[in-house]
Amino acid sequence: MRPAPVALHPSSPADSDTRRSHWRDTFASLRVRNYRLYVISQILTNTCGWMQRVAQDWLILGLTGNVAWVGLTVSLQLAPMLVFGLWGGVVADRFDKRKLLMITQSLFALSALVLGVLTLTGLIRPWHVLAAAAFMGLAIVVDNPTRQAFVPEVAGHQHLRNAISINSTVFQLGALVGPALAAVGIALVGEGWSFIVNAMAGVIAVVLLVAMRASELSAAPALSRTRGQLREGLRYVGEKPVILWSVVLVGFVAITGINLATVLAAYADDVFDIGSAGYGLLNSCLAAGAVAGALASTRRKSLRLRTLVYTAGVLGVLQMVAGMIGSLPLFCAVLVGVGAVSLLYLTGGNTLVQTAVAGTMRGRVMALYILVLFGAQAGSGTLIGWIAHEHGAHIAMVTSGAGPLLGAIIVGAVLARKGRLTTRLILRDRPGRGVLYVVPRDAVPPAAVSLPSGLLSRGLRDRSRQTHPAERRRRRQPRAVPGRTAHPRHHTRTGRTH
């Protein structure tokens, strides 16, 4: 006989080595030198860039006393994506991406330096802030699709999924951590130093890009200049359902769901009356949730479109709940959940699109994705700012949750209709499993549909693989054969075995 296998104690060295290996794999792409330099530059530019954005929002609010001007500033910074966003993707596919990033980061640093000097010298006026926001918006048109498309080149294809996840996590985490740092800086030293810090970050980013080893980059073939490349990118997206519905869903989420700077400024100023320090507290709660979401995002083994649908729905519900809360501690607790879910959604959408797109199309596809993401936020800035000014912060927060929830309902319904999916209640199932399933309409026998409800199933399963446990059990039961008994191993009096 073979000896029985010996179970390892949970704290045994082998189990500890497995856990350590799993955590190392979480950040496997950081073993690549060029990608480490790139991540450092992205941490600096994303975090400090969002510091500048919050500082300019708070600055123009102080200069004008009208929260609607904050929404206008956001719109001017994001609106260029609506007009030139797709062309930015074409530029990213045609030229050397590292050199493009050097140019855009230099422009960001110059704009931040000018704005910081004007603020510190007391010469700043509202139109200066608006002009700087518009100038940065033009640079973003090329910078964002280029930095997204640069990830596979700098990390290599071996760690592509992990690198995309880390890069999108850094991008979204900066959007949540940066405002918190900006609020603290504003309270301590004023808005001007946030601009100076962002200018320094841009200079460091250029130096890190220069320090990369060009021979170790996995550069995609550059496109030659031909006609119809923009239409070719749009046609490619239309032929890839995973990319198409990811783009549609992110439009619903971005139109109201992730542009919370204006809403939180209104909460800090009008609802809780806690000033810039309290504004930093609210953004810190979002950042705390983002940290949890970031860790969960980098450890994801697989991702499907249905996951994005569910996450968008949860995000909308959380924001609507937050809009009904008048207690500061409870509001902060819900904001932590909003931060975690929003980062999980945004990193998931980015990763799903990037892993589904061909290398030669990456710039144009990511330009479309970012165009929808930022373009929707541009409209959201003015819309949510106006709602907050006219109807109050609570209504604005509830409105913020409407976009993600509506998008989840619409996209989920379309996917369910295309897959001929429906919900089924199963009377009995295996222990620990739910009994409410989203399955193809012909996958469950009518006799199994009845009675009590249970937990929500995994949902939107692939039709070719979906078979409900009740159906599998029914198929495993022996079928009656004419001329034989129902139990083939039952011995009769004559000694025959059927």
Cα separation, 15 vs 11, whole angstroms: 6
The HSE-up count of residue 112 (CA atoms within 13 Å, CB side) is 28
Q: Are 306 and 391 in contact (CB under 8 A)?
A: no
Quote the pLDDT of residue 424. 56
Residue owning tokens 């990037």: 354
Query: For 29-215+230-418, which CATH class?
Result: mainly alpha
The predicted-structure confidence for 345-387, as pLDDT tens digits, reads as follows 888 888 888 778 877 788 888 888 888 887 777 677 677 778 8
The two tokens of residue 112 are: 């931040």
* pLDDT score recorded for residue 378: 67
Secondary structure of residue 275 in the 3-state scheme: helix
Q: How far from chain centre, in Å, is Cα 475?
A: 41
Low-confidence ranges of the chain (pLDDT < 70): 1-26, 172, 175-176, 219-225, 259, 301, 378, 381, 419-498
| Domain range annotation of the chain | 29-215+230-418, 421-476
């996995």: which residue's tokens? 218
Residue 470 has a pLDDT of 53
